[in-house]
A and B are shown apart, each in its own frame.
Chain A
Amino acid sequence: MKATRIALLLWGVLLTALPLAAAPLPPPSGEVILTVGGEIGLTNVDDEAHLDADMLAALPRERLMTHTSVTDGPQTFEGFLARDLLDALHAEGERVTALALNDYLAEIPAEDFERYDVLLADTMNGERLTRRDKGPLWIVYPRDDHTELQDIRYDYRWVWQLHRLEIE
């Protein structure tokens, strides 16, 4: 447990310092929530990054308030930026394929994450997203801040029950 703590701490330090050298990623200690594959610099299981709740929690937390196309009223989301995750994993790709638990698949241009503060939310209105609802992760665009995002061509990128990303 202590070793895990240290590893996590190290992982956190690596994240905040944005290291250029690829250090090995510690193996997941808890239930894997998100798996990232494809063109990434850091891996821990085979050539993939298997990330558990603690590892994801180490990423900088962000809060975003926005309307969605499937709910009423503004919703407050918390989570981490897709950009931060990809940077932490040294991801190099043009396209991100997001997969949901129900096998829903959406292809997202990587530049979306550069241009907008796209959130991988794990909390909505202070409540943890579960897989009975939109959990464990929901890709949330800052829809209210950018009118061009109020478009069905962006709506399909709001993948919920996200559990896997493929970087190409």
Chain B
Amino acid sequence: MMGRLRAIPAYAVPSLVIVALTAFLAFALVRLFQVEQAMRVNVDENMLWVVTQAQVASHRLDQAVNRRAVGDSDVDPELRLDILSSRLALMDEGPQRRYLAAEGVEPRLDEALTRMQSLREAVMAAQGEARFAPERLTPDLDALMASLNRIANRVMMAEWESTGARLDTYRSSLEKVIAAIVGIGLSGVILVMLLVIALHQRRAAQRALTAHRDQLEEEVERHIHRYRQAAEALAQALDRERSVSEFYRSFAAMVSHQFRTPLAVIDSGLQRLQRRHHQFTAEQRSERYTRLREAVAQMTRLVESSLTAARIDGKQVEPNLGRHSLSRIVDHLCRLQSEATGTQRLETQHATPEPWAWCDRALTEQALANLIGNALKYSPEGQPVRITTARDGDRVTCRVTDFGPGVPADEQPQLFERFFRGSNAAGTDGTGLGLNIARHLARIQHGDLTLESTPGEGTRVTLRLPAADTRETSDAPS
């Protein structure tokens, strides 16, 4: 069904309907015009009046003739004769004569005209009062009146017939016009229906098109997303690869740079012990062993620090953030330090309420251990190292203060550089990595590390970490 409809062009049906509409309209207009014309052309309607007036004129002539005969001088038979003559002359004119001929009463008209002529001749033939003597005029006048009577009779019937026929024509024309108007209406309805259907189809097509486009867009979006993810994964993988290679390179660099000295120290010490083994006293030997062990210990520390630094460089360090009490971390570190070295120099002072930090406990411990170790190392024996914790806005801080020689102002900016060692540090063993690592560890946890130092008075290092109570912490492991 749909297939067959599709086979004819889309505009065929509307065109047909419009043609039908035009045809109906033209037909209706032509019919109406014909009716209008028919109503206008009605010469014959005048005819009955013409004949009747002729009859009246003939009767008035008859009346005048008879009144004159009984002596009435007010009547004017001559005027009446002229008027009757005028009426007959009118009937003798082209249009009137043709009409009467068509109705088959032309002989009657000729008869009347002949009688009129006779009347006129009769009047002319006499003189004075005798001119209008009834006995001379009546035969012709009677015959004339009879003819007019016949004509009037015929004209009346003809007019009724014609009126009836015209009404029939009007009716049939009007019926056809009405049919045409109904046709026009139906055509209009069909046109409107076609229009509505076309609009409906267009809307449906538009909807389908929109849906299709949306679907396509979604698909494209999905593809793009997938490709972007793949690209990101690739970039991450590449980054990781680069980091790993960076890790090995920097580790190798550090090893070659830092490890030779202690290894050389150990090697020469061992050579000396080997060669002069028997020249040394037991005490001297013991002292040399101790120094060698210290060198090994420094190397161990160096390896650890280097690994940490390299891991940081290679982005191998992932902080495991949680809610931790900074004061407890400090106390724990101090206890460990005291147990390991027997020192009594560490003084702690904690803020109330307890400062909670959002941090990785192990990384924070490592950073703080570096700072405390530095403070102990670079200040004289007998001077305390003060460690305080506090809350500062949305951060928590831990300050490590020593009373050592301090760092000269021109060296302070370089202190956080890797392998930098201050001029005051000469004579103490160190890697030049501690502060650098501590700052990295702080930054990994969204914190920071700063240093203020006054030569001759001491140095204060401040670790800042995000405060825990500004974050969602309820389910965080501690």
Contact = CB atoms under 8 A, between A and B. Distances in A.
A and B interact: yes
Interface of A: 69-73, 101-102, 104, 130-134, 152, 155, 160-161
A152 B43 CA distance: 9
Nearest to B116: A132
A28 B364 CA distance: 150
Name which of A152, A155, A160 has the most chain B CB atoms within 10 A of its CB.
A152
B251 to A, nearest CB: 120
Contacts of A101: 79, 82-83
- Which of the listed residues A70, A71, A72, A73 has the most CB atoms from chain B within 10 Å of its own CB? A70
A155 B46 contact: yes
Interface string B27-46: 00000000000000011011
Contacts of B79: 101, 131
A131 B90 contact: no
A70 B93 contact: yes
Contact of B95 (A71, A102, A133, A152): A71
A69 B53 contact: no
Given A70-B95, A72-B94, A155-B46, A102 B53 contact: yes
B82 A72 contact: no
Contacts of A152: 42, 45-46
A160 B87 CA distance: 11
Interface in B69-89: 79, 82-83, 85-87, 89
Contact of B89 (A72, A102, A133): A133
Judged by DSSP, the binding face of A is: loop
B56 interface: yes
* Nearest 10 interchain pairs by C-beta: A72-B94, A132-B85, A131-B82, A132-B82, A102-B83, A71-B93, A133-B89, A70-B93, A133-B86, A101-B83
B57 interface: yes
A133 to B, nearest CB: 5
Given A131-B79, A131-B83, A70 B53 contact: no
A73 B95 CA distance: 10
A30 B30 CA distance: 58
9 contacts: A69-B43, A70-B46, A72-B93, A72-B95, A101-B82, A130-B82, A131-B86, A132-B86, A155-B46
A71 B45 CA distance: 15
A132 B89 CA distance: 8
A64 B123 CA distance: 36
Nearest to B97: A72
Contacts of A69: 43, 46, 95
B337 interface: no
A132 B95 CA distance: 19
B21 to A, nearest CB: 32
Nearest to A151: B40
Contacts of B50: 70
B465 to A, nearest CB: 111
B96 interface: yes
A140 to B, nearest CB: 15
A64 B86 CA distance: 22
